[in-house]
């Protein structure tokens, strides 16, 4: 049984490594595309009025690159520690849903979809808040910022000194 588990983990790590490499390549391509689009946008500002579609295109490319960067971070953290960082995953989902809302075209899509996206943002923001709050409370206990852990730290220090 151990053999199967080890082989499964090896396959999983290999696939995640390949996905990480592909996502990194995609990030370079997206960054290059964003730079070219930004240069083109800047050149056209002096000639014409600023195009809202061009701004949304740049913003969409930027947010897509940010999502890919967050995915790479999540994959890398998993490969390194073998633990999924839920806070990073929620942040990535929050960016992705926010991107959909920012780039929402009311003429082409229904308002029900916008409401659903809004509910998703609220749920993800609440999840992020709870994760962040939980993480902060754990840090307080770990680093002795509450009264109980300060007292225990003093006791341990006095035990070590004797």
User: Is 150's pLDDT higher than 60?
Assistant: no
Note the pLDDT tens digit of each residue in 137-148. Answer: 766 666 655 444
Spatial distance between the Cα atoms of 161 and 148, rounded to a whole number of angstroms: 20
Q: Which residues contact 74 (CB under 8 A, 6 or more apart)?
A: 84, 85, 88, 89, 92
Output the pLDDT for position 110: 85
Helix (H, G, I), strand (E, B) or coil at 39: helix
Distance CA 132, CA 152 (A): 25
**Residue that the structure tokens 């960016």 belong to:** 95
Tokens of 48: 């014409």
Using CB atoms within 10 A of its CB, is residue 86 exposed (0-12), middle (13-18) or buried (19+)?
middle
| Strands, E assignment, the chain | none
Most confident of 65-69, 79-83, 133-137, 154-158: 65-69
User: What count of residues does the chain have?
Assistant: 162
Give pLDDT, residue 104.
83
- Interatomic CA distance for residues 142 and 129, integer angstroms: 20
pLDDT of residue 132: 84
pLDDT reported for residue 143: 61
Give percent of the chain with pLDDT exceeding 90: 30
Which comes out higher in pLDDT, residue 136 or 109? Answer: 109
Residue 104: phi and psi, rounded to 5, are -60, 130
pLDDT at 126 > cutoff 90:
yes
| Cβ(95)–Cβ(63) below 8 Å | yes
List the structure tokens of 145: 């910022």
pLDDT at 140: 64
């Amino acid at each position: 049984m151990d053999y199967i588990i080890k082989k499964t983990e090896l396959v999983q790590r290999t696939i995640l490594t390949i996905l990480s490499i592909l996502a990194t390549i995609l990030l370079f391509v997206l960054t290059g595309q964003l730079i070219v689009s930004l240069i083109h946008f800047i050149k056209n500002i002096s000639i014409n009025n600023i195009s809202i579609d061009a701004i949304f295109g740049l913003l969409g490319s930027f947010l897509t690159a940010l999502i890919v960067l967050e995915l790479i971070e999540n994959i890398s953290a998993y490969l390194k520690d073998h633990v999924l960082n839920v806070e990073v995953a929620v942040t990535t989902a929050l960016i992705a849903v926010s991107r959909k809302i920012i780039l929402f075209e009311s003429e082409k899509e229904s308002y029900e979809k916008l409401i659903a996206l809004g509910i998703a943002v609220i749920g993800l923001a609440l999840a992020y808040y709870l994760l962040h709050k939980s993480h902060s409370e754990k840090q307080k206990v770990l680093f002795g910022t509450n009264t109980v852990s300060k007292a225990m730290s003093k006791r341990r220090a006095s035990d070590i000194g004797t």
